Amino acid sequence: MRPHRWNPPRATARAAQTQSTPALPEVRLIPLPGKGPEDVVLTTDGHLITGTEDGAIWRVDPADGTVEKVAHAPGRPLGMHADADGSLLVCVAGHGVLRLGGAGAELEPVITEVDGEPIIFPSNVVRDDDGTDYFSISSRRWPFEQWMGDILEHSGSGRLVRRDPAGRVEVLIDGLQFANGVVLAPDRSCVLVAETGAYRITRYWLSGPRAGTVDRLVENLPGSPDNMLLGSDGLIWIGMVAPRNPLLDRMLALPGIFRRLTWALPEWLRPAPARSAWVIALDLDGTVVHDLQRAGDDFAMVTSVIEHQGTLYLGSLSESAVGVSAVP
């Protein structure tokens, strides 16, 4: 571990609250045969697709809860993108971005390295209508299984990458703090990436007078943003994996020896995400439109959220179910 010191922005009062007003409505569970549906996406025929820690990729009928295994990945499935043609892009830990042509097909590599360097921790992916892929790499130093190492180190080895239809690959932003969810603006003016390790959403401009430049859509979030998706309401819906941890914020500003010692502790003694079920929705100007949180007694660690016609489908790194809630 090579810790970098960082003085986080002062947490707002919202970061200390455990429930919003109004609260996130009760979460109904759709049980899965595996644990940790890290990302959940919606297909054009109204089904949900998710992957669990055993490598299985599942097709879920949200109407009756039927679950069908459609593929098995060579590693842990993370972020996904469901294409209009029925195919699926899947970020697979240790393997890069893979494509599933359909149920029962084999996963095929789309991109496995950038600048000759293997992709060890791909996080999220979105495909434009012209076949351009935008995807995030959370860390170039730490594998998914040691994701907390990247958060503690705060070395900023995350990336936002573009692959054009001809296969040319370009790093759009380097030095991101645990790059995570990716959203392409409907007008293709910009692409957004969540920085879980810095509590912010970063924007890369694709067109207009600011094309090729980077700024922040929103900073100093009260929790850690994870996967992001455009909702049917046109908003950017974000899974908030956990509220900010005051102990972690203090440690990040101290000499690195404290984080090295923390990393050497057994996992159960390290700072851990508080159990919370939390999602937010932003407009394209960065204004918070919905802030929905409830205690994580029955469902917690929300890593992804889909909004479709007022219904919310939630993914989680810790649960063995997809959560279903609603916009109040």
Distances in whole angstroms, Cα of residue 164 to Cα of each of 110, 213, 306: 11, 19, 26
Residue-level pLDDT at 307 = 98
Strands of the sheet containing 169-176, edge to edge, are: 122-127, 133-137, 158-163, 169-176
Report how far residue 114's alpha carbon sits from residue 302's, in angstroms, rounded to the nearest whole number. 29
The 10 Å Cβ neighbour count of residue 133 is 22
Residue-level pLDDT at 263 = 95
Name, in order, each residue with C-beta under 8 angstroms of 168's C-beta and a sequence gap of 6 or more: none
Distances in whole angstroms, Cα of residue 146 to Cα of each of 17, 121, 157, 280: 28, 10, 14, 26
Element (H, E) at 34: none
Q: In this structure, what token pair is assigned to residue 56?
A: 């299985």
Residue-level pLDDT at 273 = 86
Q: In this structure, what token pair is assigned to residue 260?
A: 């090295």
Residue-level pLDDT at 104 = 79
What architecture is domain 17-326?
Answer: 6 Propeller (2.120)
Element (H, E) at 28: strand 28-31
* Ranges of the chain with pLDDT below 50: none
Asked if residues 97 and 89 have their Cβ atoms less than 8 Å apart, the reply is yes
Report how far residue 291's alpha carbon sits from residue 23's, in angstroms, rounded to the nearest whole number. 8
Residue-level pLDDT at 52 = 98
pTM > 0.85: yes or no:
yes
Element (H, E) at 255: none
Report how far residue 128's alpha carbon sits from residue 165's, in angstroms, rounded to the nearest whole number. 10
| Residue-range domain boundaries for the chain | 17-326
Distances in whole angstroms, Cα of residue 11 to Cα of each of 7, 68, 181, 198, 226: 11, 42, 22, 12, 18
